[in-house]
């Protein structure tokens, strides 16, 4: 079976133009930040918003959104890998949410193709658990205080989540 959903997802995202890269301010774990700096990304690409985040342009677009794509795709932060899933932390539990298709068109594809949904949810769980495990509590609290309307809770994982399949 071919994985044509990947190509379809790519097309949908190109047509969307990266709505998820506007006003995103993705948080950076220390390991993600170190990896970016080691690859030559200048430190002034990051800013402090109560947590360390990728800087945005004046119009709110992430500075790494260039020519309608992510210029650091292979190294992008955990929440960017996890999208269109997002998260909140309640005690020892990480709650996973899925954005509505009205704000992220690729959600329709995920809901139509179980393989795509399962693949992306597994990646989201792994990426979000890594981020949560590598952030100081005050930064995590600042991130979780950001309201994310137009999402539905779809899963819960323990804070100490490990995906043994990877």
> Between 14 and 141, whose beta carbon lies closer to ligand SF4?
14
Supply the DSSP symbol for 87.
E
d(CA 137, CA 6): 35
Instruction: Specify the stretch interacting with ligand SF4 by CB under 6 A; choose among 8-16, 124-132, 142-150, 152-160.
Output: 8-16
Q: How far is the CB of 146 from ligand SF4 (least distance, A)?
A: 14
> 144: how many CB neighbours lie within 10 A of its CB?
15
Q: Which of 21, 28, 82, 110 forms a contact with ligand SF4 (CB under 6 A)?
A: 21
For 72, half-sphere exposure in the C-beta direction (CA atoms, 13 angstrom radius) is 24
Helix (H) or strand (E) holding 15: helix 4-16
Q: Does 26 bind ligand SF4 (CB under 6 A)?
A: yes
How many residues interact with ligand SF4 (rule CB under 6 A)? Answer: 23
- Shortest reach from residue 9's CB to ligand SF4, in Å: 7
* CB of 54 or CB of 96, closer to ligand SF4: 54
116 binds ligand SF4 (CB under 6 A): no
Q: List binders of ligand SF4 among 59-78 (CB under 6 A).
A: 62, 64-65, 70, 72, 76-77
Nearest to 96 by CA among 132, 124, 58, 68: 124
How far apart CA 117 and CA 137 sit, in angstroms, is 30
Closest CA to 53 of 20, 88, 90, 79: 79
Pairing of strands 151-158, 93-99: antiparallel
Task: Report the residue from 94, 106, 128, 135 that binds ligand SF4 according to the rule CB under 6 A.
Answer: 106
Can you give the binding site for ligand SF4, defined by CB under 6 A?
Answer: 12-13, 16, 18-21, 24, 26, 54, 62, 64-65, 70, 72, 76-77, 80, 83-84, 104-106
């Amino acid at each position: 079976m071919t994985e044509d959903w990947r190509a379809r997802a790519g097309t949908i995202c190109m047509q969307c133009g990266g709505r998820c890269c506007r006003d995103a301010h993705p948080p950076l774990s220390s390991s993600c930040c170190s990896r970016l700096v080691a690859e030559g990304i200048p430190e002034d690409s990051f800013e402090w918003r109560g947590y360390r985040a990728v800087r945005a342009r004046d119009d709110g677009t992430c500075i790494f959104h260039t020519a309608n794509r992510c210029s650091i795709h292979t190294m992008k932060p955990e929440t960017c890998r996890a999208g269109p899933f997002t998260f909140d932390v309640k005690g020892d539990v990480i709650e996973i949410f899925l954005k509505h298709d009205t704000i992220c068109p690729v959600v329709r594809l995920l809901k139509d193709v179980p393989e795509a949904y399962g693949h992306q949810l597994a990646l989201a769980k792994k990426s979000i658990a890594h981020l949560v495990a590598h952030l100081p509590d005050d930064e995590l609290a600042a991130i979780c205080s950001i309201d994310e309307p137009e999402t539905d809770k779809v899963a819960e994982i323990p804070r100490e989540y490990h995906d043994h399949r990877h």
